[in-house]
Amino acid sequence: MNKVILKAGKEKIVNRHHPWIFSGAIDSVIGDPENGSQVHIIGSNGNFFGIGAFSPYSQIRVRMWTFENEKIDQEFFDKRIDRSIKRRSYLMDKDHDSAWRLIHAESDQIPGLIVDQYSDVLVVQILSSGSEFYRPLLMDSLRKVTGINNIYERSDLDVRKLEGLKERTGTVSGNIPQEILINEGGYQFIVDLQSSQKTGFYLDQRINRRIIAEYCNNKDILDVFSFTGGFSIYAAGNNAKKIVSLDSSAEALALAKRNQALNGFSNNEHEWIEGDAFQGLRKMRDQNRKFDLVILDPPKFAPTAAHVDRAARAYKDINLLGFKLLNPGGILVTFSCSGGIHESLFQKIVSDAALDAGAYATILERLFQGPDHPVSLTFPEGGYLKGLICLKN
């Protein structure tokens, strides 16, 4: 068995069951492990610490499979996947919803594997060389445990390069339609499985869509970065007076319009703006337009810590404009899904934006990613989505 020997004093992090071992914590590698294969982790004193996947190209040199001495085989993955799905059983309301994240990678103790269920289709993303190495076993376990044979792969993210992996998309097994219908919160949505962003739908916002819907009754809503209309459809369902949805993607807006018709909201007053949010918000400010509730759900401006400064300016910019576009007593719902922007920094950015907009604001609620995107206590990095509901008063 190939081995990774830790430097003296670096055992603490493994002892605390964090799933990553960085290259700087490693004293030596014994053997010649291939990319993604398993290695035993040994402390400087010769103690066994667990088994991980070796990733020679990445700074995250090892991702831990287990902190016990057990076999990494089909049965191991069957158990891990089963446990991951059981972890969600209390929140899977099958009468109303048909889409969830089933596996959230490190937080579900399967590093590098994301699995989203959209009705009877599973969409997988494999982001680490360890999960890539065991891909056939993982797919077999997924089919066995879920009973679903329709699997589509969307391993088309840049992070794969860091692991020495090429992109891969396509059908793994079964029949994959271009589009699929899902139920969420009493609404129906069309999800474009094959060409859409992410794995097709922003499942991490499900609970937040419900929470925000409560504020929409009889209000003028601006949904910025609307994608396929998640927040807009809930707003329409909660009797918003008027909705403006803005996104730079024509395809996303086309699906949003179809989603609106599908849910029978064709009579709502709804304006669709295709374009850049930074320009669109400025234009509305110059036109002195006002709204009762503004939602800002931008894409990841800071994928890593290196992008934080630029991202912070971008967040401040849109939040400042967001506050300016609000009527007195209006509500700003603002998100960041950047792992590199922590909750406290995000709040500071929003605070600076309010100051510059000349607005006094208070926090009504703090929002977070939904519970099917859990955060392990041993892996705080798993938490990425944060949001604030602010009252301008």
Quick one: 74 or 249, whose CB is closer to ligand SAH? 249
Pick the stretch among 91-99, 112-120, 142-150, 248-256 that binds ligand SAH (CB under 6 A): 248-256
What CA–CA distance (Å, rounded) separates 64 from 70?
Answer: 12
Instruction: Find the helix packing angle between 230-237 and 206-213, rounded to 10°.
Output: 30
| Binding flag, residue 297, ligand SAH (CB under 6 A) | yes
CB burial of residue 247 (10 Å; 0-12, 13-18, 19+): buried
> Binding ligand SAH by CB under 6 A: which of 19, 36, 112, 230?
230
Q: For the chain, give the longest Cα–Cα distance.
A: 71
Contact positions with ligand SAH (CB under 6 A) in 169-228? 197, 202, 205, 225-228
Q: Which is nearer to ligand SAH, 106 or 297 (CB)?
A: 297
How far, rounded to the nearest angstrom, does the alpha carbon of residue 66 sit from its chain's CA centroid?
Answer: 24
The residues, ordered by sequence, that sit 6+ positions from 254 with a Cβ below 8 Å of its Cβ are none
Radius of gyration of the chain (CA): 22
Choose between 54 and 189: whose C-beta lies nearer to ligand SAH: 189
One-letter amino acid of 342: H
99, 312, 337, 367: which one is catalytic?
A: 337
Q: Is 337 a catalytic residue?
A: yes
Least Cβ distance, residue 235 to ligand SAH (angstroms): 11
- Which range of residues in 51-59, 283-291, 293-301, 384-392 is near ligand SAH by CB under 6 A? 293-301
Q: Does 276 bind ligand SAH (CB under 6 A)?
A: yes
Tell me whether residue 277 or residue 331 sits nearer to ligand SAH (CB atom): 277
Q: Encoding tokens for residue 337?
A: 């899904």
Query: Is there binding between residue 118 and ligand SAH (CB under 6 A)?
Result: no
Q: Is 12 exposed, middle or buried (0-12, 13-18, 19+ CB in 10 A)?
A: exposed
Token pair listed for 94: 């099958």
Contact at 8 Å (CB) between 315 and 349?
A: yes
Spacing of C-alpha 127 from chain mean position: 13
Least distance (Å) between residue 80 CB and ligand SAH: 29
- The answer to whether residue 313 forms part of the interface with ligand SAH (CB under 6 A) is no
Of 273 and 353, the one with the shorter C-beta distance to ligand SAH is: 273
Matching residue, tokens 């129906």: 188
Amino acid of residue 78: D
Q: Is 256 in the site for ligand SAH (CB under 6 A)?
A: no
Residue type, 127: L
For residue 323, state whether it binds ligand SAH (rule: CB under 6 A).
no
Residue 317 Cβ vs ligand SAH, minimum distance, rounded to whole Å: 11
Least distance to ligand SAH, CB of residue 366, Å: 18
Q: Residues in the site for ligand SAH, rule: CB under 6 A?
A: 197, 202, 205, 225-228, 230-231, 247-249, 252, 276-277, 297-299
Catalytic residue IDs: 337
